[in-house]
Amino acid sequence: MFTLAEVASLNDIQPTYRILKPWWDVFMDYLAVVMLMVAIFAGTMQLTKDQVVCLPVLPSSVNSKAHLASGSADVTTDVPKFEVTTDQGQGRWMTKGASFDEASTLTPGLPLSRASSPPTDSPVPNQEMRKEIKDPTGRKTNLDFQQYVFINQMCYHLALPWYSKYFPYLALIHTIILMVSSNFWFKYPKTCSKVEHFVSILGKCFESPWTTKALSETACEDSEENKQRITGAQSLPKHVSTSSDEGSPSASTPMINKTGFKFSAEKPVIEVPSMTILDKKDGEQAKALFEKVRKFRAHVEDSDLIYKLYVVQTVIKTAKFIFILCYTANFVNAISFEHTCKPKVEHLTGYEEFECTHNMAYMLKKLLISYISIICVYGFICLYTLFWLFRIPLKEYSFEKVREESSFSDIPDVKNDFAFLLHMVDQYDQLYSKRFGVFLSEVSENKLREISLNHEWTFEKLRQHVSRNAQDKQELHLFMLSGVPDAVFDLTDLDVLKLELIPEAKIPAKISQMTNLQELHLCHCPAKVEQTAFSFLRDHLRCLHVKFTDVAEIPAWVYLLKNLRELYLVGNLNSENNKMIGLESLRELRHLKILHVKSNLTKVPSNITDVAPHLTKLVIHNDGTKLVVLNSLKKMMNVAELELQNCELERIPHAIFSLSNLQELDLKSNNIRTIEEIISFQHLKRLTCLKLWHNKIVNIPPSITHVKNLESLYFSNNKLESLPAAVFSLQKLRCLDVSYNNISVIPLEIGSLQNLQHLHLTGNKVDLLPKQLFKCVKLRTLSLGQNCITSIPEKIGQLSQLTQLELKGNCLDRLPAQLGQCRLLKKSGLVVEDHLFDTLPTEVKEALNQDTNAPFANGI
């Protein structure tokens, strides 16, 4: 047997789940407990006290009743004769209206006290005996005790209605089913995890200090906004209309639009009271909550299983109520105290019919009526629940009221199970949903990040991260922060600002304090700017680097920086189907001089021609994608420097020959094998630098002699086996780089390059240095490493301006002492093995070691 507590545990849920129990579920739970108590009480009474008592219906009972009704007044006459029963050891007396004479039958062998007669061995007057047996003692039935027990049990099962016997058990089973149905959605594995997670997050959101601070701060903002909205309602439209002036962003430009207060040059800045700084622990917990809410929403919003399960269990409870009510109401009148039983056991008892009484009939009837009443109330509540479920769309939840009260206008509406859970919470307390909505708002999350960020990155900490770059400029690099700290804009002497992987970067009006800022880097950082900040950047910014994954990440205001001089774009500009993703118009960049595009282009963007009149340097650095269409290059008439790197070019593009002002051409890392078109460069009178390094060029055509203005020639990392004499006819040549080829002989004509200052022959197969090489007395850099040279001529001492000499990786056994005559050569500029350096005379080594750390007199 089980206890009430054990059965009631079926209806028990975790205390934290009570916020998901509306009043009707709570009320039905209490009703279920009451029904459970009724069922257990009825079952207990039935097990302990329920019984049926039966007596046989005698055939003469009717005649006796008729005789009594006929008016026989003298009960002392016509006494029936005594009957002696011998077939049974003991007779029985009927107690149903028998007269004195009828009740005077004695049973042989029975003690006189049990026969209600005086002892036979003691003489008693006749009058006393008649007085003593005058009390009626019933009618004789000739049945013994075992027969009565048998008849009682037989008639309990035959005469009683089945509902009288099984009502407590049915009530218990129905109640248990209703209890299980009420809380099944809390127990079902696929829903209980979501419910548990939701309740956990909801409780933390409700108790989080950030919720209170965010709501209180928005209330402060609302009051400030209302004041400004009243005082500046007329001046605001006039101010906004000025944003359409030349060089200002259009309505589609992603600027920061603030409701209530704006930064502008014409209006003073209205400062909202700063938020209270959260403890670091509270701030971290709030950040974790935002992430949990985001993941939970994505997990729950895609299904409506919880909603469907709740509807199904409510329908089941309603159907159960109708079923119980229909069949139970028919059995109320079937429960009675008296029953007639015909068990067909006449051959065992001698009687065909019995009259029986059920001692629990009245109690069971009252309990049944109580049970039906409770079921009716339970059912009406189920019907109300169904009405609530289908009256409004519970798979949609709007935070409209919360948005109006909290000013977090970006709180999104939710759907499916997420919406249903919030509807259930509203039945408990709507304050939960309001506080939960704070963690659905991106504005709220950004404010939290801003507070934590400013608390962590103070002015002193930022100052420690400022460094000087290669151009000797003060530079600050911020990496993977939640935003841009406010203290950054107090570094007024900063020259370069790098923002990397800061998705929520916002540039406020305070940037106008950074008067030295001229270079800005945005690496995967689609920064938004306020109006005043944009005006400052438009007028002062000179160099901008933008690194992106998708072209949409490029902020629209970038295309409006009219005073920008240099623009570096690094990212994907080609779609999967090889269609060009166009940049926006560049015509507003009226002073742009340098455009650097590192991407995967298949053609030169046509809108680059927007900046053609003033563009002087164009760099296209592909990732190995073949650049096919270059017709747009013909319009770049003023370009002085052109770099087409890693573009899978196989020949020199003919469009380049139209660039009359071209001074430097770099075709590094392509697949160029032949350069017969190089004769066309003779029309480019200003071309001074030609870089064809990292290609597959086998030979240099003699026609290169027609490009007489060349000063720098780079053929490193190709497949050259020799140098033609035509190369040494370029009298203006100052730099020749043919390192990492297969050259084995240095032509004697090299002596004619009197202006040569830098010669790079590293990584070839040279074994002999001609004496004519040392006639190039202006040589400052001579790289001869990784060759097969066995000796260095003594004439090397004639290179008085030599500052860099690389000899490492050759077959040398000593160094000439004439190196000491190279007055500008120091040990730091001499790249050679240590044991070769030790072969030099002591005075030469001392001369080379002097002023090792000092800069070279003439530079490199």
Mean pLDDT is lowest, of 93-107, 300-314, 442-456, for: 93-107
pLDDT for res 77:
35
At 467-489, the pLDDT tens digits run 999 889 999 999 998 889 999 99
Nearest to 660 by CA among 678, 639, 675, 646: 639
**Domain-embedded: residue 480:** yes
CA distances from 680 to 609, 633, 704, 731 (A): 24, 16, 9, 19
Residue where a domain terminates, one of 367, 391, 415 = 391
pLDDT for res 427:
87
pLDDT for res 728:
93
> Which has more confidence, 61 or 76?
61
Q: Is the pLDDT of residue 790 over 60?
A: yes
Same-domain pairing of 546 and 620 = no
Same-domain pairing of 796 and 698 = yes
Tokens of 233: 């309602």
For the chain, the average pLDDT equals 79
pLDDT for res 277:
54
At 569-621, the pLDDT tens digits run 998 887 554 454 556 678 888 889 999 999 888 888 777 877 878 889 999 99
Same-domain pairing of 737 and 843 = yes
Residue where a domain terminates, one of 391, 407, 423 = 391
At 318-333, the pLDDT tens digits run 998 898 888 887 777 7
pLDDT for res 122:
44
Per-residue three-class SS string for 606-660? HHHHHHCCCCCEEEEEECCCCCCECHHHHHCCCCCEEEEECCCCCCCCHHHHHCC
3-state secondary structure of 438: helix
**Domain-embedded: residue 699:** yes
> Which has more confidence, 237 or 454?
454
pLDDT for res 48:
84
User: pLDDT exceeding 90 applies to what percent of the chain?
Assistant: 34
Q: Is the pLDDT of residue 346 over 60?
A: yes
Q: Which of 356-360, 535-539, 635-639 has the highest mean pLDDT?
A: 535-539
The Cα–Cα gap between 769 and 765 comes to 11
Amino acid at 8: A
Average pLDDT on 641-666 reads 92
**Domain-embedded: residue 344:** yes
Average pLDDT on 79-90 reads 37
Same-domain pairing of 558 and 524 = yes
**Domain-embedded: residue 86:** no
Nearest to 202 by CA among 24, 16, 476: 16
Q: Which of 47-56, 63-72, 218-227, 540-549 has the highest mean pLDDT?
A: 540-549
Q: Is the pLDDT of residue 351 over 70?
A: yes
Q: How far does Cα 38 stand from its chain's mean position? A: 50
pLDDT band for position 68 (cuts 50, 70, 90): very low
Same-domain pairing of 507 and 632 = no
**Domain-embedded: residue 462:** no
The Cα–Cα gap between 145 and 159 comes to 20
Same-domain pairing of 847 and 821 = yes
> Which has more confidence, 270 or 658?
658
Mean pLDDT is lowest, of 19-33, 171-185, 252-266, for: 252-266
pLDDT for res 43:
85
pLDDT for res 221:
52
**Domain-embedded: residue 271:** no
pLDDT for res 9:
53
Same-domain pairing of 548 and 659 = no
At 152-197, the pLDDT tens digits run 888 888 888 888 888 888 888 888 888 888 888 888 888 888 888 8
Same-domain pairing of 729 and 816 = yes
3-state secondary structure of 410: coil
Domain that holds residue 666: 585-671
pLDDT for res 126:
52
Q: Is the pLDDT of residue 788 over 80?
A: yes
Residue where a domain terminates, one of 623, 643, 671 = 671
At 523-552, the pLDDT tens digits run 999 899 999 999 999 999 999 999 998 888
Same-domain pairing of 773 and 820 = yes
The count of structural domains within the chain is 4
pLDDT for res 333:
76
3-state secondary structure of 716: coil
pLDDT band for position 200 (cuts 50, 70, 90): confident
Nearest to 188 by CA among 305, 342, 19: 305
Same-domain pairing of 486 and 343 = no
Contacts 24+ apart (CB under 8 A), 211-217: 211/435, 211/438, 211/439, 213/275, 213/276, 213/278, 214/406, 214/408, 214/438, 214/444, 214/447, 214/448, 215/406, 215/434, 215/435, 215/438, 217/273, 217/275, 217/276, 217/447
pLDDT for res 4:
53
**Domain-embedded: residue 640:** yes
- Cβ distance 792 to 816 under 8 Å? yes
Q: Is the pLDDT of residue 658 over 50?
A: yes
pLDDT band for position 220 (cuts 50, 70, 90): low
User: pLDDT exceeding 70 applies to what percent of the chain?
Assistant: 78
Average pLDDT on 258-273 reads 37
Tokens of 663: 């001074």
Same-domain pairing of 640 and 698 = no
At 766-778, the pLDDT tens digits run 999 999 999 999 9
Nearest to 713 by CA among 744, 748, 675: 675
> Which has more confidence, 137 or 211?
211
Q: What is the CATH number of the domain that holds 645?
A: 3.80.10.10
> Which has more confidence, 549 or 735?
735
Q: What is the CATH number of the domain that holds 170?
A: 1.20.1440
Q: How far does Cα 713 stand from its chain's mean position? A: 55
pLDDT band for position 201 (cuts 50, 70, 90): confident
At 691-727, the pLDDT tens digits run 999 999 999 999 999 999 999 999 999 999 999 999 9
Q: How far does Cα 366 stand from its chain's mean position? A: 58
Average pLDDT on 659-675 reads 92
Same-domain pairing of 797 and 701 = yes
pLDDT for res 762:
96
The Cα–Cα gap between 517 and 542 comes to 9
**Domain-embedded: residue 819:** yes
The Cα–Cα gap between 372 and 577 comes to 72
pLDDT for res 491:
92
